[in-house]
Amino acid sequence: MSQERAYLDHNASAPILPEVREGVARALALGGNPSSVHAEGRGVRALLDRARQQVADLAGVDPGQVIFTSGGTEANVTALAPAHAGIANDAAHCFVSAIEHPSVLGGGRFPAERVSILSVSSDGVIDCTQLRADLTAFVTASPDTPFLVAVMAANNETGALQPVAEIASIVHELGGKLHCDGVQAAGKIPLDLDALGADMMSLSAHKIGGPQGVGALVLGRSLAQLNDRLISGGGQEHRWRAGTENVSGIIGFGIAADAAVKALARTSNLQDMRDRLETEVMAIAPDAVVIAQTVERLANTMCFAVDGMSAENLVIAFDLAGVAVSAGAACSSGKVERSHVLEAMGVEAALANGAVRVSLGHDTSDRDIELFLTAWRDIHARFVARRQAA
């Protein structure tokens, strides 16, 4: 008999929704290139247009503002270009928060010497008073230099939400542009680009139950066009992103986006499960610390640690017990690295090195929570026994 398992790593990649799987399978059976003018091509184009509308609805924009990409990383790197801070101005500057995804933290296509890091509080949230001071100092010293600020809507490790609308107001008041990485927030909180005030936003399908390898860059109404394309060539995606579209992936993205909009009403169920999880984790281990617990977070995300525990060992122990969770950060080789997010928050190394993220999703059940707590009870008991024996 196979081991009963609980998948609690939705922030890494959500299991594909059944309706998405079926839609992708139907799309793979289609013939025709969406750029062709014959009936087959027009049929595929109609399906892409429908998906574009569905993704636009998720972001609260018009379909013409959606550019499909290969994922959130490409969307971020496309957005972070000097031309999007000031048209054809190579001297533009980029500010990124210290807790961003690596594709943003590096500044995208900005030269390293023109990228500045914005600090966050001990709760992992941008301090808007400090942000205003930093940007004002920059504008005063370099009044003719355009700038772009990149801040995520929700952190993938801690779930902490950023005050994007307030940040946008400050950035625009001082003459800058704002890019928002909405990859982790999509489907978990309402995302209305106009209400947020961002000039660009990135999305990714596989975080909301869609296929991997497809995402979108959404342009705000304040940014009439993409000033610097990452991929040039043909005329696809309004001539903003060349290459024949990933038809099946985009159609799956659209279906997932539609499902995500409808699922927003059920986030309270996730928060109830998350809150129960936190309460019982700390009842089992009173020395456990929940990261960013005092600020507004995604309803599905819990990041916790116990001083002296190893995140890598914890992930392996949970996996052996049939529970999939993740450490704060993982590199492409699958090895656990120290979290730059927790480091930026000032979390002590002994605690940060043991941080584990639990992220719930559309298929999470009470049984999954029970499996996690049973595993945690055993893992923590063995940890305490080893510490007492030492």
Give the start-to-end residue ranges of the domains of the chain. 6-15+266-389, 18-262
DSSP per residue over 299-366, as a string?
A: TTEEEEEETT--HHHHHHHHHHTTEE-EES-B-TTS-B---HHHHHTT--HHHHTT-EEEE--TT--H
Percent of the chain past pLDDT 90, that is, above it, reads: 80
pLDDT tens digit string along 280-300? Answer: 999 999 999 999 999 999 999
How far, rounded to the nearest angstrom, does the alpha carbon of residue 192 sit from its chain's CA centroid? 16
Q: What is the pLDDT of residues 3-19, one digit of tens each?
A: 899 999 999 999 999 99
pLDDT above 70: percentage of residues in the chain? 96
Assess whether pLDDT exceeds 90 at residue 87. no
Q: What pLDDT is attached to residue 152?
A: 98
* Confidence at residue 333, expressed as pLDDT on a 0 to 100 scale: 42
Shortest CA distance to 159 belongs to which of 29, 36, 295, 265? 295
Is the distance from CB of 343 to CB of 385 less than 8 angstroms?
no
**β-sheet bridge partners, residue 6:** 323
Per-residue pLDDT reduced to its tens digit, 308-320: 999 999 999 999 9
> Helices (H), strands (E): how many in the chain?
14, 13
Cβ(98)–Cβ(340) below 8 Å: yes
Distance in angstroms (rounded) separating the CA atoms of residues 230 and 74: 8
Q: What is the dihedral of CA 272, 54, 157, 382, to 10 degrees?
A: 50
Q: Regarding the domain delimited by 6-15+266-389, which CATH topology (the fold level of the hierarchy) does it fall under?
A: Aspartate Aminotransferase, domain 1 (3.90.1150)
What topology is assigned to 18-262 in CATH? Answer: Aspartate Aminotransferase; domain 2 (3.40.640)
Across 29-38, 136-145, 152-161, least confident range: 29-38
Answer yes or no: is pLDDT of 332 > 50: no
Q: What is the mean predicted confidence (pLDDT) over 349-355?
A: 93
The per-residue pLDDT of the chain, averaged, comes to 92
Query: How much is the average pLDDT of 152-176?
Result: 97
CB 215 within 8 A of CB 254: no
Q: Poorest-confidence range of 12-26, 213-227, 364-378?
A: 213-227
- Active-site hit among 94, 128, 180, 331: 331
Residue 366's pLDDT is 95
pLDDT of residue 331: 43
pLDDT at 165 over 80: yes
**With the C-alpha atoms ordered 328, 209, 56, 79, is the resulting torsion angle positive or negative?**
positive
Is the pLDDT confidence value at 190 over 70?
yes
Predicted local confidence at residue 265, as pLDDT = 79
Active site residue 331: yes
Q: What is the pLDDT of residue 328?
A: 62
Question: Residues 35-77: pLDDT tens digits?
Answer: 887 888 888 899 999 999 999 999 999 999 999 999 999 999 9
pLDDT of 101 higher than 80: yes
Give the pLDDT band of residue 220 (cuts 50, 70, 90): very high
DSSP secondary-structure letter at 93? E
